[in-house]
């Protein structure tokens, strides 16, 4: 075990010896010692069928068979209503109490989903008035900036700790990036990255998604100091022929906030990178989440 990682793991263990949580990418379990690849889904919450008006019996049966958690089902319903336009821009959505009645779930489940979507910028809350649908973000296109490589230069990390490594049902927005059908199983990695070997607070929370056939060959142990992209090349001959990148500000989810400990009420920066192979097929999704106060971007050019 790397110097300093013991303290980092002890701090994570204080969150809870086995902490169940929900992130934008699903549910995970942080173990205070090591990590195992989990085949299939580990049921960490009560599961049942949630009937959303308009859902077919086939969809409900699929949810039940997959053991999809209540949190994930509510999250999917809310996202569909927002992204489809059923809930329109600046429209007030049903209250927590109304949602509990509509879907037959606890208030804590509804609240955690709402807070997650607020953190992602899909919803916003007005004190005393309710929760509303956020206006769509304005996208600005640039040439590829190589954000990931630049981050490695200005925010180098000495080691990382894997907090999650397993095959699981991928979120809809991830499967859509890969052109997969909704609900397909993919390999997911989550890691904490530390600036120095003596650091006890990580500077980056990292997510990766890849097709299941690639996940089976990943050496989890070597990721403490090695790069995943190197393994993808050595084991499968994969190297990016092009990248799609995105940089945005947002709110940290509960796990990211506990791990990164950003200043109160401050945003985090989120960088997404999708790598394509020589056949222009996406094979690796990478997300970095880090406190916004760690980075200042500047742009300039010679005239």
The full set of domain ranges for the chain reads 147-294
pLDDT on residue 243 = 92
pLDDT in tens, 94-128: 999 999 999 889 998 999 889 878 877 889 999 89
What is the distance between the terminal CA atoms of the chain, rounded to a whole angstrom? 51
Burial of 33-55, coded b for 16+ CB within 10 Å and e otherwise, reads eebeeeeebeebeebebbebeee
What CATH number has the domain spanning 147-294?
3.40.1410.10
Place of tokens 């916004």: 292
Say whether pLDDT at 207 is over 90. yes
Could you tell me the maximum CA-CA distance found in the chain, to the nearest angstrom?
62
Between 11 and 265, name the one with better pLDDT: 265
pLDDT on residue 301 = 64
| Distance, CA of 88 to CA of 137 (rounded, Å) | 14
Place of tokens 């086939």: 58
Say whether pLDDT at 271 is over 60. yes
Say whether pLDDT at 76 is over 70. yes
pLDDT on residue 182 = 83
- Is 228 in a helix, a strand, or coil? helix
pLDDT on residue 40 = 36
Beta-carbon contacts of residue 231 (< 8 Å; ≥ 6 apart): 217, 218, 219, 222, 223
Task: Tell me how crowded residue 179 is: count the other CB atoms within 10 A of its CB.
Answer: 8
Say whether pLDDT at 2 is over 50. no
pLDDT on residue 42 = 36
pLDDT on residue 201 = 92
Say whether pLDDT at 47 is over 70. no
Say whether pLDDT at 210 is over 90. yes
Average the pLDDT over each of 27-41, 164-178, 276-290 and give the range with the smallest value. 27-41
Between 231 and 153, name the one with better pLDDT: 231
Mean pLDDT within 193-205: 93
Say whether pLDDT at 297 is over 70. yes
What does the H/E/C string look like for 44-107? CCCECCCCCCCCCHHHHHHHHHHCCEHHHHHHHHHHHHHHCCCCCCCCECCCHHHHHHHHCCCH
Q: Are 204 and 239 in contact (CB under 8 A)?
A: no
pLDDT band at 294 (very low <50, low <70, confident <90, very high): confident
Percent of the chain whose predicted confidence (pLDDT) is above 90? 44
Q: DSSP string spanning 157-208?
A: -SEEEEEEEEEEEPPHHHHHHHTPPTT-EEEEEEEEEESSTT-SS-SEEEEE
pLDDT in tens, 6-29: 433 333 333 333 333 333 443 333
List C-alpha distances in Å: 14 to 3, 7, 72. Answer: 19, 11, 25
Place of tokens 């050019």: 301
Mean pLDDT within 271-299: 90
pLDDT on residue 206 = 95
List C-alpha distances in Å: 204 to 54, 79, 118, 152. Answer: 40, 26, 21, 11
Q: What is the mean pLDDT of the chain?
A: 78
Q: Give the CA count within 13 Å in the CB-facing half-sphere of 3.
A: 4
Q: Are 20 and 29 in contact (CB under 8 A)?
A: yes
| Distance, CA of 288 to CA of 157 (rounded, Å) | 13
Say whether pLDDT at 281 is over 90. yes
Q: Give the CA count within 13 Å in the CB-facing half-sphere of 119.
A: 22
pLDDT on residue 46 = 44
Mean pLDDT within 61-75: 64
pLDDT in tens, 134-159: 998 766 666 666 777 777 777 788 99
């Amino acid at each position: 075990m790397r110097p300093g990682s013991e303290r980092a793991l002890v701090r994570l263990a204080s969150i809870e010896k086995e902490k169940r949580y929900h992130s934008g990418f699903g549910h995970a379990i942080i173990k205070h010692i090591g990590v195992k690849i989990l085949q299939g889904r580990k049921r960490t919450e009560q599961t049942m069928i949630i009937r959303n008006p308009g859902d077919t019996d086939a969809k409900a049966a699929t949810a039940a068979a997959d053991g999809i958690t209540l949190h994930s089902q509510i999250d999917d319903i809310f996202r569909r209503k927002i992204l489809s336009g059923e809930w329109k821009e600046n429209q007030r959505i049903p209250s927590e109490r109304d949602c509990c009645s509509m879907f037959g779930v606890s208030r804590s489940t509804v609240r955690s989903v709402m807070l997650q979507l607020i953190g992602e910028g899909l919803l916003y809350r007005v004190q005393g008035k309710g929760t509303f649908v956020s206006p769509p973000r304005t996208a600005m296109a640039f040439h590829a900036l190589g954000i990931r490589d630049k981050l490695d230069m200005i925010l180098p990390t000495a080691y990382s700790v894997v907090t999650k490594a397993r095959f699981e049902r991928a979120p809809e927005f991830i499967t859509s990036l890969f052109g997969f059908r909704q609900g397909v199983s993919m390999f997911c990695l989550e890691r904490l990255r530390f600036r120095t070997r003596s650091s006890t607070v990580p500077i980056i929370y990292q997510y990766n998604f890849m097709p299941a056939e690639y996940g089976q060959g990943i050496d989890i142990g070597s990721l403490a100091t090695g790069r995943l992209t190197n393994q993808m090349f050595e084991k499968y001959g994969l190297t990016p022929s092009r990248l799609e990148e995105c940089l945005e500000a947002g709110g940290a989810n509960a796990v990211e906030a506990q791990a990164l400990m950003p200043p109160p009420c401050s945003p985090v920066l989120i960088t997404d990178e999708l790598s394509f192979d020589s056949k222009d097929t996406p094979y690796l999704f990478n997300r970095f989440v880090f406190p916004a106060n760690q980075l200042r971007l500047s742009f300039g050019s010679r005239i």
